[in-house]
Chain A
Amino acid sequence: MSLTGMVAALIADDRTADWPARVPARLETVLASMPLPARAGVRAAARGLDAYAVARTGRKLAALTDAERESVLRGLGARPALQPLLDVLKVPVLLAAGTERMLQDGLPVPLLTRQDPPLDCTPVHAWPARSTADAVVIGSGAGGAMAARTLARAGLDVVVLEEGQHHSTESFGRRAPLDRFTDLYRDGGATVAVGRPPLLLPVGRAVGGTTVVNSGTCYRTPDHVLARWSKEFGFAPAEDFGRRLDEVERTLRVATQPLDVLGGNGRIALAGASALGWGAAPLRRNAPGCKGSCQCVVGCPTGAKQSVQLSVLPDACAAGARIVTGARVERVLVDADRPGGPRAAGVRVRREGGAVEILAPLVVVAAGALESPPLLRRSGLGRHPRLGHNLSVHPATSVAGRFAEPVTAWEGVLQSVGVEEHHGEGVLIEATATPPGMGSFVLPGLGRELRRELEGADRLATLGAMIADRPSGRVLGRDRTLLRYDVDDRDAGRLLRAVRAMGELLFAAGAEEVLTGIPGTPRVRGLAELDTLLAGTSVRQLHLSAYHPTGTVAAGTDAERFPADPTGRLRGVHGVLVADASVLPGCPEVNPQLSIMAAALAITQGQVER
């Protein structure tokens, strides 16, 4: 069914420009990468819009004039109950529209910072049906890459299994951001945690895992978090974490982002913080030589960002590790009759024309906090009652400020400045701009109003805030992940405080108005107005997304509470290590890449030194 009518109505295609006409086709490709419920939802919404138009005018949206479409949309927009639904519908449309509008201006040709170091990648269809290794690492993200490097350097024959594909930096440069977006994210980026409110939780799927698509922000695990992990949970790696973090930082070449390519978004955040006297600084990032392409979330096109497939995995391959791409692990093979209890024997990978099996006495599970619990359940290793529980996700929301002068937020570093004034209260503000349409911020309005916002997007600066949450989520499912997350009451308050703090910061930086993202009152022109608005706002009215899922196969001393022992070995079976975000026992409260890598390093080193 055609999406043309819906798109033309939402972005007010008045045929004054070429690009809106190409948006429906682009939207089709976006939908194709999304899971079935999301696809069906968008198509149902398009049908609903058409039905409404037929009811009001006797014709479908595509057959209406511009003015008639506006009138139809005004009728819809007047119903507050429909606002959240329309906002959800706008997300994929804005994604497609933003891309087409950017392509209109021409795709900048990125300059390679450096050549990609070589990787030993084999597609799964070229891998033998039967093979053996000393260790199999499931997942090539932050945890898996570090585990693979540590084990390979210890002399083990390591095979890394990655469900996604390998994408080179050059391939990023050749393709439009949105094309990469649909390839690099699981479910086309439309992973949703069911709850009140629902959360969008994008996770990467490629060689390098989510590190390919994260913002490159590298926070060391805060001391108070480490102290809690160590004392409260007995998480053994936390005791010598500083040394591991140092090693990870050296590997990733972490440094404070220089100001030269920081971009308007970051400068506004610094100016606002300075005016308020808040502590703020350019973030420490793993992107030496960053050119400010602002495309971190769809794979750095210059190779500056040291995602693990450019930094850790090449070291692992140099030490003999091999990567199998397109390999979704069906199950961990377990020998149930071994003396001393069940023992992992290898893995089975689904493949057309017969499964691939790799036998190895050591299996490192690093499929990420959302995929590791279902994998363990599929393998018959999911009997621990707390497996899949304890999910922390860093719920986040964003706010935009409109400035008199162009900000052009997409020229500069994507995530540039951290404002830690409220970090003690669990709120971390990060100035985050994205390629048009890809951010979590949803522009307000429908039809012409939305089109005006799109055309004036260069004057917006966006801030995001993530909060340290209580582990109130669960990962369900065996074959497919099903997420359940309800924002805790305490965290709801934190989110509203975060919106206020971001508004305050933007006004202090000189914003004319702040786009709140709250459907009923999308714009406020002063702090007092914002306070009034927030006093009557529930967290369910915010557009929430979430990042950094952790803790679903947590490690700790209490055998009843933690599915993994303090050193990261899965309880109830020999030979299974958990070395990804799922093993962290609690919310890391900062962007967790360094924490995950340091934990994976500690866990696998502990295994090697046994």
Chain B
Amino acid sequence: MSTAGTAGKGKCTGDDGNTPARGTLFTETMLGTLRLDDEDRTRQVRLDLRVSADRVMRLTGTTQARATGRVRIADWADDAGAEGELEISPLARRRIRYRIAFTADGRRLTLDGWKSVTPRRPVASMTVLPFTLYEDGAQVGTGTLRFPVATQLLPFLASFRFPRRENPDALLAPRWRGEPGRTEVWYTTVTDPATGGGLWLHHELVAPADGSEPYAHGWAAVFPKDGPVRHARFGPTRWTADQAGFSMDGVAVRPGHLSGSAEDDALRWELTERPLGEPLFTFPRWSWRRPLLPAAQMLPAANASYDGTFTHDDTTLTLTGAPGASARIYGHGNARRWSWLHADLGGGDVLEIVAAVSMRPGLRRLPPLVFLRLRHGGRTWPRRAERPAVGWAGAGRFRAAIDLPTWTVTGRAGLRRIRVEVTQPEERILALDYTDPDGAHAICRNSERADAHVLLERWWFGGWRTEAEWTLDGTAHAEVGTR
């Protein structure tokens, strides 16, 4: 891995005007009654919805949103798989429309209704939802749902989230804008669940600090379960700009696709990549948009799945749904000392750690700055990337003990603490020489078959309780770099 940097004016997703920078999430609960046309009694209805929109909800405009949730109708239906859509337009169209499809008693039904907003009765018109129930387009009942202001207003307001929406493809575009003394990396690490082996594809652009021609190079490595690590370099060749990602003589990184060969086709790969998670910014997001730190690393998709083939010396690995991730680095060069971990914890959970000591005068005397991001249950912890590195003005920072074959990271934020222990056995390591833009060299020891143990604990009335614990046996991707 590498770390260091400051750099060009890149365009982050959300700035291009096509993809809104943030979405909207909220939950809403409504209670009411339903009268079926063929019955002479009313039934109680409860509707719990989780609503998501692709943009920040605009009160003066119209927001189209998706809704999922649960519909409960007394003695008739309880469908937790209800789904539908909302048209939220309280001022422009004075209408908040709900169309929710659900199953009741084996019948596929659609609830269609809208709140009709009027300034004359703001509260009633914003909370009362008359609706009609349809089956195959024919009316089967009518009813009214009400938003219970007394009990639900605070939970409703507190449920609002405006998550960023990123376009992972746009994050693959080169950041470099012609400055000397920069390095930019596209790298991908994969674990083949069939053989237990690991893959590493590293693509790098180097713009030397002396202003000479920028060049592209890289390497591919395979870490078989039984056998020595095999790697091969490609390049260097003259850098040619590629708006979509990285490309040089037969090697390419494109959205959803990795291909190339090295050492006269001794290693060949042809992989498709399917992002499974949201982007993950290991360093603070601002440092990727405005490269003020010596370098920054991020993942366009926190985890991804890979299909395709990787051939080395007449052995072909066929990947099917192999877990892994692609990451990006942009900055001034490699760190003085660093360690990196990417651990796919399963179920969409991911742990990403970069701990590094800068090359900058002064900063090099500091202990390693730890950037740790744990995506667990759809949430990322700690909430801010700065917290592990410089929390409580440095006193509450996370600690890293960088060593080989085992290095550790520990830290506490909020009511949780974590301990990560990574082991990179000597026989599973590939040691490579890195060259900085200024010509300095570093040695990196990488393993895509590392072991890791992650312990996450939560404080609960006077004691620490284990919240989650993961043990990765040869499926962690890790690296330690030294000078």
Contact = CB atoms under 8 A, between A and B. Distances in A.
Interface of A: 128-132, 333, 335-337, 345, 348, 354-355, 357, 359
B471 interface: no
Q: Label chain B's interface by main secondary structure.
A: strand
Contacts of B236: none
Interface stretch (B111-119, B169-177, B419-427, B475-483): B111-119
B93 A129 contact: no
A348 B142 contact: no
Contacts of A337: 61-62, 89, 92-93
Given A337-B92, A337-B93, A354-B130, A130 B61 contact: no
A132 B113 CA distance: 9
Nearest to A343: B93
Contacts of B116: 348, 355, 357
Contacts of A335: 62, 89, 92-93
A21 to B, nearest CB: 49
A130 B61 CA distance: 22
B61 A357 contact: no
A359 B132 CA distance: 12
A130 B89 contact: no
Q: Label chain A's interface by main secondary structure.
A: strand
A129 B130 contact: yes
Contacts of A130: 112-114, 130-132, 142
B237 interface: no
A148 B95 CA distance: 27
B152 interface: no
B139 interface: yes
29 contacts: A128-B130, A128-B139, A128-B142, A129-B113, A129-B130, A129-B132, A129-B144, A130-B112, A130-B113, A130-B131, A130-B132, A130-B142, A131-B132, A333-B93, A333-B94, A333-B95, A335-B62, A335-B89, A335-B92, A335-B93, A336-B92, A337-B62, A337-B92, A337-B93, A345-B93, A348-B116, A354-B130, A355-B116, A357-B116
Contacts of A348: 116
Nearest to B141: A128
Interface in B72-101: 89, 92-95
Nearest to B131: A130
A360 to B, nearest CB: 13
Given A128-B142, A337-B89, A337-B92, 20 more contacts: A128-B132, A128-B139, A129-B130, A129-B132, A130-B113, A130-B114, A130-B132, A131-B132, A333-B95, A335-B89, A335-B92, A335-B93, A336-B92, A336-B93, A337-B61, A337-B62, A345-B93, A355-B116, A357-B114, A359-B114
B84 to A, nearest CB: 14
A268 B258 CA distance: 99
Given A337-B61, A354-B130, A132 B92 contact: no
A345 B87 CA distance: 13
A454 B62 CA distance: 66
Nearest to B144: A129
Contact of A129 (B89, B95, B142): B142
Nearest to B97: A359
A27 to B, nearest CB: 39
Contacts of A355: 116
Contacts of B144: 129
Contacts of B95: 333, 345
Contacts of A359: 114
A352 B94 CA distance: 21
A131 B114 contact: no
A84 to B, nearest CB: 44
Nearest to B98: A130
Query: 5 tightest A-B contacts by CB?
Result: A129-B130, A337-B92, A128-B142, A128-B132, A130-B113
Contacts of A129: 113, 130, 132, 142, 144
Contacts of B94: 333
A128 B112 CA distance: 11
A359 B130 CA distance: 13
Contacts of B132: 128-131
B296 to A, nearest CB: 39
Nearest to A345: B93
Nearest to A127: B142
Contacts of B112: 130, 132
Nearest to A336: B92
Contacts of A333: 93-95
A189 B114 CA distance: 38
A333 B144 CA distance: 21
A128 B89 CA distance: 22
A355 B61 CA distance: 24
A355 B92 CA distance: 19
A355 B114 CA distance: 12
Choose among A128, A337, A345 the residue with the greatest number of B CB atoms under 10 Å from its CB.
A128
Contacts of B139: 128, 131
Contacts of B130: 128-130, 354
B18 to A, nearest CB: 16
A348 B95 CA distance: 12
A355 B144 CA distance: 13
